[in-house]
């Protein structure tokens, strides 16, 4: 109970303490706490009181869990103006060679064998960086073009045979629809996904670009 208390705001803690103290006093006043003559059995009042305390304790644990989940969530980088928050838990995929590659926004990237050899974790979302792209424009529009682009880092994936853990750099280009344009393995177990998304378009993206690194 004390561990959980450490996560609670002081006013909640003191409110609970007051409630428990009042309950304890009430039990003493009504002679239900000190009665040790009937060892092993408990009065129905005592049982009700115990159940009330247990229920409060359970509720407290649940709330503390919710609180730590929220706190964890607040530490996550959802990009400029939190634009990626809405995409959380959404996944997109593309077939390429013998694999289907999957990107789950703010989750993980995966390489799934089409021949039933199983799934390989290519990294889990860590943060957003900015890097300079310098790619040819394409007629179909599926190009990063040139300039500063957001790169989502997915790290700590499944270990590579005799090598490092797999990781993926997810480069984002402005597009009308969410789509993985292409996947490449620049070096062994280091993957690059080029992805189009409306989240890489708007003004807030341009505003939140690190200063001094604008397009030339």
Q: Tell me which residues touch ligand MAN (CB under 6 A).
A: 111, 120, 160-161, 185, 188-189
DSSP the chain: -HHHHTTS-HHHHHHHHHHHHHHHHHHHHTT-SS--SSTT---HHHHHHHHHHHHHHHHHHHHHHHHHHHHHHHHS---GGGTTGGGTT-EEEEEETTEEEEEETTSEEEEEETTS--EEEEEEEEEEEEEEEE----TTS-S--EEEEEEEEEE--SBPTTS-B-EEEEEEEE-SS-EEEEEEEEETTEEEEEEEEGGGTSHHHHHTSPTT----
The residue (of 56 and 120) whose beta carbon lies closer to ligand MAN is: 120
We find the least distance from the C-beta atom of residue 126 to ligand MAN, in angstroms, to be 20
We find the least distance from the C-beta atom of residue 19 to ligand MAN, in angstroms, to be 56
The residue (of 69 and 188) whose beta carbon lies closer to ligand MAN is: 188
The residue (of 5 and 155) whose beta carbon lies closer to ligand MAN is: 155
We find the least distance from the C-beta atom of residue 154 to ligand MAN, in angstroms, to be 14
We find the least distance from the C-beta atom of residue 195 to ligand MAN, in angstroms, to be 18
Residue nearest ligand MAN by beta-carbon distance: 161
The residue (of 79 and 123) whose beta carbon lies closer to ligand MAN is: 123
């Amino acid at each position: 109970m004390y561990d959980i208390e450490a996560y609670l705001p002081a006013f909640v803690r003191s409110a609970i303490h007051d409630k428990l103290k009042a309950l304890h006093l009430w039990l003493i006043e009504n002679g239900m706490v000190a009665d040790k003559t009937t060892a092993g059995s408990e009065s129905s009042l005592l049982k009700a009181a115990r159940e009330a305390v247990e229920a409060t304790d359970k509720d407290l644990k649940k709330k503390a869990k919710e609180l730590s989940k929220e706190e964890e969530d607040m530490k996550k980088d959802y990009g400029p103006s939190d634009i990626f928050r809405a995409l959380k838990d959404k996944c997109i995929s593309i077939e390429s060679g013998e694999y289907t590659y999957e990107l789950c926004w703010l989750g993980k990237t995966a390489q799934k064998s089409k021949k039933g050899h199983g799934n390989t974790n290519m990294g889990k979302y860590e943060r957003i960086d900015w890097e300079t792209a310098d790619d040819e424009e394409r007629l179909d529009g599926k190009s990063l073009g040139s300039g500063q682009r957001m790169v989502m880092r997915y790290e700590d994936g499944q270990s590579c045979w005799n090598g490092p853990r797999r990781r993926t750099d997810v480069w984002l280009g402005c597009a009308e629809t969410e789509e993985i344009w292409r996947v490449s393995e620049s070096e062994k177990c280091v993957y690059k996904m080029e992805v189009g998304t409306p989240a890489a378009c708007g003004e807030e993206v341009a505003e939140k670009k690190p200063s001094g690194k604008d397009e030339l």
